[in-house]
Amino acid sequence: RSYFAAYHALKVLGDVSRGDLVLVDGASGGVGMATVELAKAMGCHVIAGVSSESKAQFPGQAGADRVLVYGRTKESYTNFKVDAKQAAKELGHSQGATLVVDVVNGELFDALVSCVKPLGTICLVGFTAGQRPIRPGLLLIQEVRV
């Protein structure tokens, strides 16, 4: 089941291709790990986000190019945003990720919007951190599809 959700996010909704950059949060869980593995198999670069250092090894072992910790506070989400943008540049994607696969949602969502390139896509797959209203103005400014 996890691979179905990951494939659907990557190909059906995200339409990723070889060389695209995929950012996935919740990357140590079932859907997150499946997303890392499938995106790498499709030839994409992958930035994986996890909530704690103790979970960081798993997406790295699955092939993620970078593994970043987003933590559980607004301050750590801001740091994650900065780190993800830097990692995207280092991977050759100065405008940001082609696709963000969001398994977490909650307060992390706003930071993720800032990591997507203009006309990129955010695919909502879950809400392990709870749901919160999406601010349309933020999406408009970033020119992001959800």
Per residue in 67-116, pLDDT (tens digit) is 999 999 999 999 999 999 999 999 999 999 999 999 998 899 999 999 99
When pLDDT is cut at 50, 70 and 90, the band that residue 118 belongs to is very high
Cα gap 146→133, rounded to integer Å: 13
Q: What is the pTM of this model?
A: 0.94
| CA 65/CA 76 separation, integer angstroms | 21
CA atoms within 13 A on the CB side of 145: 10
